[in-house]
Chains A and B, each alone.
Chain A
Amino acid sequence: MTSVRINDSDVELPDQASVVDAVAHTTGRELTSAGAPVDGGRLGVAVALDGEVVPRSRWAVTELSAGQDLEIVTAVQGG
């Protein structure tokens, strides 16, 4: 298992987990390797890994290593 920080919480993911796996874990949605929801629609989520945005096109090929810090964000109500 690999332990990473997601939105300030420690999360255990399988070894060689990628950003896609982290997003699927956090959102509870099944994702294609392209980062799109299997059930259709738009995900509306973005990821920063150690302070750098990871484009959706690179989610599947970005493998996580222990101790890395992920921010997974989405749109919420706001002025």
Chain B
Amino acid sequence: MEIAPLSIGDYSLQSRLIMGTGGITDLSALEKALVQSGTTLTTVAMRRYSPDTKTSVFSMLERLGIDVLPNTAGCYTVKDTVLTAELAREALETDLIKVEVIADEHTLLPDVIETLEATEQLVDRGFTPLVYTSDDPAVALRLEQAGAAAVMPLGAPIGTGLGILNPHNIELICSRAGVPVVLDAGIGAASQAALAIELGCSAVLVASAVTRAQDPTAMAEAMRLAVEAGLHSARAGRIPKREHALASSPAEGIINPLEDLT
């Protein structure tokens, strides 16, 4: 099956598996996982330059030919988010920005009020915002109306690996969206990445699930295959759900029919 590139604003996404780079200290292990995942777009965070940054993740991604998706992780307000995005655009020469405005450090849940305002301002400034948000279908629509190039609802809180806690909401978001939906946060196992695509998501973003797995390279491959399986499954058209069984074997010609047993 040919998997077409996904248009996110003016950007053409080749692989439907977007990767994160956090949660792993061994850069060579990260590199192996990224290569195995087949990803073509990978997130980075923006932080103060320190001398240790010299062999940076940025130069590694550049060497691997993987595009960077800077995020605004750590921002709590519109002002910080816009400044971080401007710095990212200047440093990395990309209009893509993963908008991430969190409400508090304990839940890391998105502050959707600040997120909406930040999205509007970033659109005005010419960014292509991919917006991390809650799994609220009403908020997802508002973000799209504000100019989000993609909406990225969480399956579960960041780093929990709890999977997709409200599949119905994710499905509803996807069914009404006019922009790509990327499942972001919460995935722990490959089956959950496949489910995200089956529910209608166009792509999946995975970070901790791979980088904190016991074998990141093996999990990266599992995620790649799961996303591909999900795309096949979604395209194949699943059977409708039924309340009662429906035999697939013929009802005629059964030996020892039930009435003979009485």
Contacts and interface: CB of A to CB of B under 8 A. Distances in A.
Interface of A: 7-8, 26-28, 41-48, 51, 53, 55-56, 71-79
A20 to B, nearest CB: 14
Given A7-B49, A53-B86, A72-B48, 15 more contacts: A46-B86, A51-B83, A71-B48, A72-B49, A73-B87, A74-B47, A74-B56, A75-B58, A75-B70, A76-B47, A76-B53, A77-B30, A77-B45, A79-B21, A79-B158
Contact of B49 (A41, A74, A77): A74
23 contacts: A7-B48, A8-B48, A41-B62, A42-B93, A44-B56, A44-B58, A46-B88, A48-B86, A53-B86, A53-B90, A71-B48, A73-B46, A73-B87, A73-B91, A74-B46, A74-B53, A75-B92, A77-B21, A77-B24, A78-B43, A78-B71, A79-B20, A79-B207
Contacts of A77: 21-24, 30, 44-45, 57
A49 to B, nearest CB: 11
Ordered nearest first, which 10 A-B pairs have the shortest CB separation?
A78-B45, A79-B20, A79-B207, A46-B91, A46-B90, A75-B44, A46-B87, A75-B58, A77-B21, A7-B48
Contacts of A71: 48, 87
B49 A73 contact: yes
Contacts of B44: 75-78
A78 B132 CA distance: 14
B49 A26 contact: yes
A53 B58 contact: no
Among B30, B49, B91, B205, chain A packs the most CB atoms within 10 A around the CB of B49
B75 to A, nearest CB: 12
Contact of A75 (B24, B45, B86): B45
Contact of A76 (B23, B30, B57, B83): B57
B73 A79 contact: yes
A73 B47 contact: yes
Interface in B10-31: 20-24, 30
Contacts of A79: 20-23, 43, 45, 71, 73, 158-159, 185, 205, 207-208
B92 A44 contact: yes
A7 B158 CA distance: 28
A25 B205 CA distance: 37
Contact of B68 (A46, A47, A75): A75
Interface centre among B50, B83, B91, B158 (most CB of A within 10 A): B91
A28 B205 CA distance: 35
Nearest to A43: B91
A79 B18 CA distance: 10
Interface string B217-244: 0000000000000000000000000000
B58 A74 contact: yes
Contacts of B56: 44, 74-76
Contacts of B46: 46, 73-76
B68 A53 contact: no
A72 B86 CA distance: 13
B51 interface: yes
Given A73-B46, A74-B47, A77-B30, A45 B91 contact: yes
